[in-house]
A and B are shown apart, each in its own frame.
Chain A
């Protein structure tokens, strides 16, 4: 009877293999707590990794008996979000402290993933130094605070002074309304047809970049809005929406921006930062306050000349009406997992990571805008790059995305609308209509407000 025995042996070894790989190392003894920290790390974004490594050293030194386990996820924003979402689904894998995008806070609060921090924040001295807008960034629908921001950003017009001067436009440049932007762009085109005068992202390929760095600067500068905060409903049929699409269409039709084909390449932003602006092939782009992080020493597209050649201007409102400028803010936060086995220690670690010293280092390394007033006053922060003051001033006219659970779909519908107009597939009116219809289909008539 050799055969059955052999078969049994094979099955047994397979079972043993499965069993041994299934047995993970036993949890450490009760005295040794382990805090799991999950965050994003990429080739160009290592500031957070440095921050957490420093915080880990500090924290473990001050808290014997607790180990901090850092689990960076090396991926782009989308894939990071996916992996984090999967980890949050079950208590065994949910991290204690993690890096969370502001625009996901509300839907993750709905899902029950984030710990309410109000009682902890009351007792944390440093919380008083955070400005009001920052406190709003981590707020859930119930008014409680679920996340602490690491920094914030704004958006504005980044222009290459040399290109503008060649076209006879005075610097520093500050357009007061949409028409002045178009005028300046046309001048630049006339002076040098090979230059891209004024670029604004559009289309699905640039994802959130299309809406945060382009469309919303237009929409929020009109009299209309995307979301009615009072009614908690999405706005459809607004004139401002159509006007914003029309502006983009003009920009692309008159070849004042990049070609539609280039706009629909997800990698276009790399060319903006890495080639066109440094080489003087682009006049201006609407981009974020984090732009210096690419050009400064250690950035992905190092460019020494940026401090002299670049300038920052506020994006104007449609007719120059109050408040005279528009900006959008996003940013990332640190949150504590609702299922954390050691919430007190987790919050302690969070405060260590966000203490003044670490905050300052992170803010400077990643060209963030400080959300702590004490960091904002530090000379090191103010001297980090010549644009700190300009971009920080934009906070006064900034808006935040209505980051509800439905938001990703709304954002996608807006991106689709911009793509339709710049490719000439639809007129601005038709694209706006299509947007309205899509929104109604996706979120239901109850959540929609006709204006």
Chain B
């Protein structure tokens, strides 16, 4: 090759530059600006619009006294745990597991149905879910057919509706991850366990799951982070209502920043969202470190 070794080593990292440039300019810089704005009283209108002043930790103190914020954090955690960690994750695993046992045509058809909900643009999925959970929507139609009376889901149980809608929309991702992971599981170990007398359940928990442990952790991390950012689905279905009962952090940040024009406060909320993401992220990284090669 001819070039000196250190030069070649530096050059090796060169391909990263375009991505890093894009990330720095369009992602890192705005995030830093937002973080800085959370320490000011920046606003879209009013006296502080053109000349925001530094207010230090005022916005963050307000977070603690504002009753909407802790409620929103709780709702966000509930949303993430219920729809991503439990819902999408387990359902995806279940579907992938069933697919290893089912006939190929059935697997193909069901796989397509599950993925269709994921491929659909978010607003179409949100609208379809809105229609489904409406008082005169399909869910109540089904329940009536079974003899039960349905509730007005979007009004009485908004979190249930958005959680189920998010599970419907995002399970495909987990399903694909687990399908790939399960396909790599060597069948001989599982069959050896079968011959030793282990039941299906025991085989699952003690043989299969440990083998795909890193996939589980990775999948959990990815679906958690993606679910934390969900905005359009909730906004279209319930707009965070009624009475803020489905206002997760992204919805709250949007309301504060754009409905009230309070950029400072809105970005403070967004910063807290990132902190929440970091908390989840660090937990998963610890989990992953467990069996790094």
Q: Do chains A and B touch in the complex (CB under 8 A)?
A: yes
A123 is an interface residue with CB less than 8 A from chain B: no
In the complex, which residues of chain B have a beta carbon less than 8 angstroms from the beta carbon of A420?
A: 243
B195 is an interface residue with CB less than 8 A from chain A: no
Chain A 415-432 interface mask (CB, 8 Å, partner B; 1/0):
010011001010000000
The interface stretch among A55-63, A108-116, A313-321, A380-388 is A108-116
Given contacts A14-B21, A408-B260, contact A204 B241 (CB under 8 A): yes
Q: What's the tally of chain B residues with a CB closer than 8 Å to chain A? A: 31
- CB of B38 to closest CB in A, whole Å: 18
Contacting pair A4 B11 (CB below 8 A): yes
Whole-angstrom CA separation of A260 from B135 in the bound complex? 13
Partner of B45, one of A78, A108, A260, A419: A108
In the complex, which residues of chain B have a beta carbon less than 8 angstroms from the beta carbon of A88?
A: 49
In the complex, which residues of chain B have a beta carbon less than 8 angstroms from the beta carbon of A10?
A: 18
Whole-angstrom CA separation of A419 from B240 in the bound complex? 14
B239 is an interface residue with CB less than 8 A from chain A: yes
Whole-angstrom CA separation of A104 from B2 in the bound complex? 68
In the complex, which residues of chain A have a beta carbon less than 8 angstroms from the beta carbon of B46?
A: 107, 110-111, 405
In the complex, which residues of chain A have a beta carbon less than 8 angstroms from the beta carbon of B155?
A: 260-261, 264-265
Contacting pair B2 A1 (CB below 8 A): yes
Contacting pair A7 B47 (CB below 8 A): no
Interface centre among A113, A203, A265 (most CB of B within 10 A): A265
Contacting pair A261 B18 (CB below 8 A): no
Contacting pair B239 A113 (CB below 8 A): no
A142 is an interface residue with CB less than 8 A from chain B: no
- CB of A276 to closest CB in B, whole Å: 15
Contacting pair B242 A85 (CB below 8 A): no
Whole-angstrom CA separation of A1 from B2 in the bound complex? 8
Partner of B18, one of A11, A260, A266, A412: A11
In the complex, which residues of chain B have a beta carbon less than 8 angstroms from the beta carbon of A441?
A: 65-66
Whole-angstrom CA separation of A365 from B66 in the bound complex? 45
- CB of B177 to closest CB in A, whole Å: 32
Interface centre among B46, B239, B258, B260 (most CB of A within 10 A): B46
- CB of A111 to closest CB in B, whole Å: 4
Partner of B242, one of A3, A4, A108, A205: A205
In the complex, which residues of chain B have a beta carbon less than 8 angstroms from the beta carbon of A416?
A: 243
Given contacts A14-B21, A111-B50, A261-B155, contact A409 B242 (CB under 8 A): no
Q: Can you name 22 A-B residue pairings with CB atoms under 8 Å?
A: A4-B14, A10-B18, A11-B18, A78-B258, A78-B259, A82-B258, A85-B45, A85-B261, A108-B45, A111-B43, A111-B47, A113-B49, A204-B241, A261-B156, A266-B239, A405-B45, A412-B260, A419-B243, A420-B243, A423-B242, A425-B243, A441-B65
Q: A86-B44, A405-B45, A420-B243 are in contact. List 9 more A-B contacts (CB 8 A).
A: A4-B11, A7-B14, A78-B259, A82-B44, A104-B45, A205-B239, A261-B152, A264-B241, A412-B259
Interface residues of B (CB under 8 A from A): 2-3, 11, 14-15, 17-18, 21, 43-50, 65-66, 135, 152, 154-156, 239, 241-243, 258-261
